Amino acid sequence: MAISYFLPLLLSLITISSVSAYFQRDVDITWGDGRGQIKNNGELLTLSLDKSSGSGFQSKNEYLFGKIGMQMKLVPGNSAGTVTTLYLKSPGTTWDEIDFEFLGNSSGEPYTLHTNVYTQGKGDKEQQFKLWFDPTADFHTYTILWNPQRIIFTVDGTPIREFKNMESIGTLFPKDRPMRMYSSLWNADDWATRGGLVKTDWSKAPFTASYRGFNQEACVWSNGKSSCPNGSKKGTTGSWLSQELDSTAQQRMRWVQRNYMIYNYCTDSKRFPQGLPKECLAA
Mean predicted confidence (pLDDT) in 96-118:
96
In a domain, 232, yes or no: no
Domain holding 253: CATH number?
Answer: 2.60.120.200
Q: Residue 117: which of 93, 98, 101 has the closest Cα?
A: 98
Under the banding of pLDDT at 50, 70 and 90, the label for residue 234 is: low
pLDDT at 166: 97
Given a contact cutoff of 8 angstroms between Cβ atoms, the answer to whether 162 and 243 are in contact is no
Per residue in 76-96, pLDDT (tens digit) is 999 999 999 999 999 999 999
In a domain, 7, yes or no: no
Per residue in 150-190, pLDDT (tens digit) is 999 999 999 999 999 999 999 999 999 999 999 999 999 99
Q: How many structural domains does the chain have?
A: 1
10 has a pLDDT exceeding 80: no
In a domain, 12, yes or no: no
Q: Residue 186: which of 201, 166, 208 has the closest Cα?
A: 208
In a domain, 235, yes or no: no
Side by side, the strands of the sheet bearing 55-59 are 27-31, 55-59, 180-187, 82-89, 97-103, 112-118, 127-129, 261-264
In a domain, 257, yes or no: yes
Q: Tell me the C-alpha distance between 257 and 274, whole Å.
A: 25
pTM: 0.91
Q: Residue 185: which of 53, 88, 44, 97 has the closest Cα?
A: 53
pLDDT at 21: 55
18 has a pLDDT exceeding 50: no
In a domain, 49, yes or no: yes
pLDDT at 237: 44
Which residue type is seen at 170? G
57 has a pLDDT exceeding 90: yes
In a domain, 5, yes or no: no
Question: ω before 229 within 30° of 0 (cis)?
Answer: no
Mean predicted confidence (pLDDT) in 17-41:
86
CA pseudo-torsion sign 187, 188, 192, 195:
positive
Q: 19 exposed, middle or buried (CB, 10 Å; 0-12, 13-18, 19+)?
A: exposed
In a domain, 97, yes or no: yes
283 has a pLDDT exceeding 80: no
pLDDT at 12: 33
Catalytic residue positions, numbered: 97, 101
Q: Report in angstroms the alpha-carbon separations of 5 from 127, 154, 214, 256.
A: 22, 11, 21, 12
Mean predicted confidence (pLDDT) in 6-30:
59
245 has a pLDDT exceeding 80: yes
102 has a pLDDT exceeding 50: yes
Mean predicted confidence (pLDDT) in 217-227:
94
Q: Which residues contact 31 (CB under 8 A, 6 or more apart)?
A: 53, 54, 55, 56, 184
- Residue 39, domain extent: 23-224+240-280
| pLDDT, averaged across the chain | 90
